[in-house]
Structure 1
Amino acid sequence: MFWEILLRIDSMVLMGMVTTAEASNLRRLVMDHKVSVAEVFNDTLQKSDAEILAELRHFSERNPRNGFHIVHVCTEMAPLVSVGSLASYVTGLSCALQRKGHLVEVILPK
């Protein structure tokens, strides 16, 4: 999914919508926040380059670089291991923290 956004950024450079420096920063943003970017840009093929550029700029403003690195160690996580209510809670919490700009990892036992 994120590769589509990277290709669209390249096309914006070729069309003169962004400078190469801004495109480099946008590419870095996409690569650093793959999961949260995928949640925000779930329908990239249906949007124009101008719409995607506006959303990328908005996304970069609300995702500060000083987010925390959060590690959850638990026994369940939806959809991988879902026995009780803990799985959906861990998934929901992790997604919410990622949307706030934090790097979230979930460690599950083998």
Structure 2
Amino acid sequence: MIRNCKVCGTSYKTCYSCEKERSWRLHTDTPEHYYIWTVLMEYQANHDAKQAYSALRKRGIDLRNTAEYTPSVQALLAEIYALAHENSRAKKAVVEAEETKAEEQVDNEAESQQE
């Protein structure tokens, strides 16, 4: 049987035993693509971008270099990347705001003591 990889779109052959055993070859052409596909399926179920981003990065998958993937996979990877970094930026902004507030408080206390 000829199948198309759900991650990259490449055509590949499967054998009867792959079909019978319901192996990863039913969905993708390589084990790496199967891993990507399972992470994306889990992301679509639980919408946890941080978890998906972490899982993909642990396997060395670059979410910014996605030209080899299908448009739907590219869109999901871009969404995961944006959401994961949005959360990081928001946390960084909160920390910076707290640091600035603490510095201002120290400055105000120092001014009060000088008066």
**TM-score normalised by the chain length of structure 1:** 0.26
Which has the higher Rg, Structure 1 or Structure 2? Answer: 2
Name the one with the larger helix percent. 2
Which one has more relative contact order, counting CA pairs under 8 Å at least 6 apart? 1
TM-score, normalised via structure 2 length = 0.25
